[in-house]
C-alpha cells in the first residue's frame, strides 16, 4: 500500500466512523456490514469547548502509540491561521485507513496523533484570507483538497491538487509546519489534514466543502471519503450508459458505492465479484444483480464474466487493491468499447501484466483518485444527489455504540479485515 495515496480505497484496510455533539447523550453509529469493511460512527461529544484567548479546550480521541487504545483527552486547539478554518465536528466516520495508520503498518509511525478524516461539521471561525466560508456554514472536511490555483485545479480533467493532495506522513499544518493541537504544551499531530476524531479541528480552507445547510450531517458525512470514491469511479470515470453491463470487483464499502453509481446510471446488469459469498445478499441493496465468486470456478474470472455477457462487460470498476483483481477487471471488459477503472491501491512491488493485444483491441484502462471529484467544487452536488433522493446513504449505516467505547469500533473493524 502506498503511504501517499490510500484514503478512500476499498481493500482489506478500509472502513469508516462518524461523531456528533450533544449535552444529553453520547453515542455513535457504527455501520459494519461484514461484506463491506465499512463503519459509520456518530458520536456526541460530552464536553463543551472552552475558549481561552482564541484557544479551545476540547475533547478528542488521542492515539498515543501505535496499536494502543485511543484515549479521550482534553486537548487545546489553536485558532486558525491564514487560509485555515476551525470546525466544530458534529459527526465523523471511521475509515479503515485510520485503523491502518493507527497500527503503523508500512510507514513511519507518527504519534501522538488525532485520527479521523470523514466528517460533517460547522465552521466555528476562519483565519486571515478566508473569504468563501464564514462561521455557521455547514461543511465536509476532506482528506484531499482543491486550492483552485494549481494546474490540476484549473484543469477540468484532474482533481489532484498540487498543494493539498493527500499526504499521510505530514502531521502539521502547511502554513507554518506546526500542529494546532496540544496537551500541556506537547504537540499532538494531525492526520491527512483533517483529524476529525476531535470536538474541534483546524483545516486548510482548500480541504473544506461548503454544503447545503439542510442536509443531515449524520448522513452526508460519509461522503468525505469512501462513498464518493466508489460513486465517482463509476459516474465520473467509467460513465456507463443506461442499459450497460457493469462488473464491480470487491464488495466492500467503496465497491458497494461503485455499484450504487451503476444503479444510478441505469445499468441493466451489475455483476459483483468477491471471494466472500456472504456479501451478495447485502450487495443486492446497492443494485448488484448477479454474483461471481472466483473460487467457484476452474478458469480465470474474466473468462467467466466474458461467457456470462457475450464477450465482456461494458464497464468494470476494481475496488480491492489486489493486482490479480485489477488484471481481471481489465481483461473482462468487452473489446472495442470496454472501460476498466482501477480504484484500489496495490502493494508497492506489484506489477500489472496483460497482453498488449488486450489494449490494441480497444479496451481502455483508467485510474481514479477520490472518484475524480474536486472536493470544494463537486461535493456539494453529490450532497444534492442525496437530498433529491437519487443517492441512498442510509443503507450504509447500521449500528450504534457509545462514544466512550470508541475503541470497540476499532476492534470491530479489525475483526472484519
| Same domain as 152, residue 43 | yes
CB 58 within 8 A of CB 74: yes
Residue 287 lies in a domain: yes
Strands (E) across 97-178 are located at 118-126, 138-141
| Same domain as 264, residue 400 | no
Residue 89 lies in a domain: yes
What pairing do the DSSP bridges indicate for beta strands 339-342 and 315-318?
parallel
Distances (CA, A) of 156 to 42, 153, 225, 342, 365: 34, 8, 20, 20, 19
Packing angle, helices 323-331 and 301-309, rounded to 10: 30
Mean pLDDT of all residues belonging to the chain: 87
Phi, psi of 151 (to 5 degrees): -60, -45
CB 279 within 8 A of CB 34: yes
Instruction: Answer whether residue 10 shows pLDDT above 60.
Output: no
The Cα 144–Cα 163 span in angstroms is 9
Global confidence as pTM: 0.88
The SS3 assignment for 256 reads: helix
CATH number at residue 63: 3.90.180.10
Instruction: Answer whether residue 29 shows pLDDT above 70.
Output: no
Closest CA to 370 of 230, 274, 234: 230
Residue 164 lies in a domain: yes
Residue 22 lies in a domain: no
Instruction: Answer whether residue 299 shows pLDDT above 90.
Output: yes
Residue 17 lies in a domain: no
The SS3 assignment for 56 reads: strand
Residue ranges making up the domain that contains 258: 228-370
Identify the pLDDT of residue 34. Answer: 28
Q: Is the peptide bond before 373 cis (omega within 30 degrees of 0)?
A: no
| Same domain as 171, residue 74 | yes
The mean pLDDT of 234-259, rounded to a whole number, is 97
CB 76 within 8 A of CB 65: no
Identify the pLDDT of residue 161. Answer: 98
The Cα 45–Cα 21 span in angstroms is 4
Identify the pLDDT of residue 336. Answer: 98
Burial of 52 (C-beta count, 10 Å sphere; 0-12/13-18/19+): exposed
Identify the pLDDT of residue 51. Answer: 59
Distances (CA, A) of 296 to 230, 291, 292: 26, 11, 8
Instruction: Answer whether residue 274 shows pLDDT above 80.
Output: yes
The SS3 assignment for 189 reads: strand
Instruction: Answer whether residue 279 shows pLDDT above 60.
Output: yes
Identify the pLDDT of residue 53. Answer: 59
| Same domain as 233, residue 166 | no
| Same domain as 252, residue 236 | yes
| Same domain as 330, residue 398 | no
Q: Where are the alpha helices (DSSP H) in 96-225?
A: 96-102, 151-154, 217-220
Residue 2 lies in a domain: no
- Cα Rg for the chain, rounded, in angstroms? 21
* 113 DSSP β-pair partners: 63, 189
Percent of the chain scoring above 70 in pLDDT: 85
The Cα 253–Cα 40 span in angstroms is 11
The SS3 assignment for 374 reads: coil
| Same domain as 377, residue 320 | no
Residue 15 lies in a domain: no
Instruction: Answer whether residue 31 shows pLDDT above 80.
Output: no
Q: Where are the alpha helices (DSSP H) in 179-300?
A: 217-220, 226-232, 253-265, 279-283
| Same domain as 378, residue 339 | no
Instruction: Answer whether residue 4 shows pLDDT above 90.
Output: no
What is the edge-to-edge ordering of all strands in the sheet holding 186-188?
Answer: 50-52, 55-62, 71-77, 181-183, 186-188
| Same domain as 190, residue 89 | yes
DSSP conformation letters of 310-352: TS-BSEEEE-S--HHHHHHHHHTBPTTT-EEEE-SPPPTT---
| Same domain as 384, residue 354 | no
DSSP, res 223: G
Instruction: Answer whether residue 24 shows pLDDT above 90.
Output: no
What is the edge-to-edge ordering of all strands in the sheet holding 200-204?
Answer: 200-204, 84-93, 118-126, 138-141, 208-210
CATH number at residue 331: 3.40.50.720
The mean pLDDT of 227-247, rounded to a whole number, is 98
- Which of 351, 370, 389 represents a domain boundary (last residue)? 370
Half-sphere exposure of 333 (CA within 13 A, CB side): 31
- Residues in the chain, total: 417
pLDDT tens across 39-62, in order? 445 444 444 455 555 787 889 999
| Same domain as 388, residue 239 | no
Instruction: Answer whether residue 263 shows pLDDT above 90.
Output: yes
Identify the pLDDT of residue 397. Answer: 80
| Same domain as 352, residue 232 | yes
DSSP count for the chain of H helices, then E strands: 11, 18
> What total number of domains does the chain contain?
2
Residue 9 lies in a domain: no
CB 319 within 8 A of CB 261: no
Amino acid at each position: 500500500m502506498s503511504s501517499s495515496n490510500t484514503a478512500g480505497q476499498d481493500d482489506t484496510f478500509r472502513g469508516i466512523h462518524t461523531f456528533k455533539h450533544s449535552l444529553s447523550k453520547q453515542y455513535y453509529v457504527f455501520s459494519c456490514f461484514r461484506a463491506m469493511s465499512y463503519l459509520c460512527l456518530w458520536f456526541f461529544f460530552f464536553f463543551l469547548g472552552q475558549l481561552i484567548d482564541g484557544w479551545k479546550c476540547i475533547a478528542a480521541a488521542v492515539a498515543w502509540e501505535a496499536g494502543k487504545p485511543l484515549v479521550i483527552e482534553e486537548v487545546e486547539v489553536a485558532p486558525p491561521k491564514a487560509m485555515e478554518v476551525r470546525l466544530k465536528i458534529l459527526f465523523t466516520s471511521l475509515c479503515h485507513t485510520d485503523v491502518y495508520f493507527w497500527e503503523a503498518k508500512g510507514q513511519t509511525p507518527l504519534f501522538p496523533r488525532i485520527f479521523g478524516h470523514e466528517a460533517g461539521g460547522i465552521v466555528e471561525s476562519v483565519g486571515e484570507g478566508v473569504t468563501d466560508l464564514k462561521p455557521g456554514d455547514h461543511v465536509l472536511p476532506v482528506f484531499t483538497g482543491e486550492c483552485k490555483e494549481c494546474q490540476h485545479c484549473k484543469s477540468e480533467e484532474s482533481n489532484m491538487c498540487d498543494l493539498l493532495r493527500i499526504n499521510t506522513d505530514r502531521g502539521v499544518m502547511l502554513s507554518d509546519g506546526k500542529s494546532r493541537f496540544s496537551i500541556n504544551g506537547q504537540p499532538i499531530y494531525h492526520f491527512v489534514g483533517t483529524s476529525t476524531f476531535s470536538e474541534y479541528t483546524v483545516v486548510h480552507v482548500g480541504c473544506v466543502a461548503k454544503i447545503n445547510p439542510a442536509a443531515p450531517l449524520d448522513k452526508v458525512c460519509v461522503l468525505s471519503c469512501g462513498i464518493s470514491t466508489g460513486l465517482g469511479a463509476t459516474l465520473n470515470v467509467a460513465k456507463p450508459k443506461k442499459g450497460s453491463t457493469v462488473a464491480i470487483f470487491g464488495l466492500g464499502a467503496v465497491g458497494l458505492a461503485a455499484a450504487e453509481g451503476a444503479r444510478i446510471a441505469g445499468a441493466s446488469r451489475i455483476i459483483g465479484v468477491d471471494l466472500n459469498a456472504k456479501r451478495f445478499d447485502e450487495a443486492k441493496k446497492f443494485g448488484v444483480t448477479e454474483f461471481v465468486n472466483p473460487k467457484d470456478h476452474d478458469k480465470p474470472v474474466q473468462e467467466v464474466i466474458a461467457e456470462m455477457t457475450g464477450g465482456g462487460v461494458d464497464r468494470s470498476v476494481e475496488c480491492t487493491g489486489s493486482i490479480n483483481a485489477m488484471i481481471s477487471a481489465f481483461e473482462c471488459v468487452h473489446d472495442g468499447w470496454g472501460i476498466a477503472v482501477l480504484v484500489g491501491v496495490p502493494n508497492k512491488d506489484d506489477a500489472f501484466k496483460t497482453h498488449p493485444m488486450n489494449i490494441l483491441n480497444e479496451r481502455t484502462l483508467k485510474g481514479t483518485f477520490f472518484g475524480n471529484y474536486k472536493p470544494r467544487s463537486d461535493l456539494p452536488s453529490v450532497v444534492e444527489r442525496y437530498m433529491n433522493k437519487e443517492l441512498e446513504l442510509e443503507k450504509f449505516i447500521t449500528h450504534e455504540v457509545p462514544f466512550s467505547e470508541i475503541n470497540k469500533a476499532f476492534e470491530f473493524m479489525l475483526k472484519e479485515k
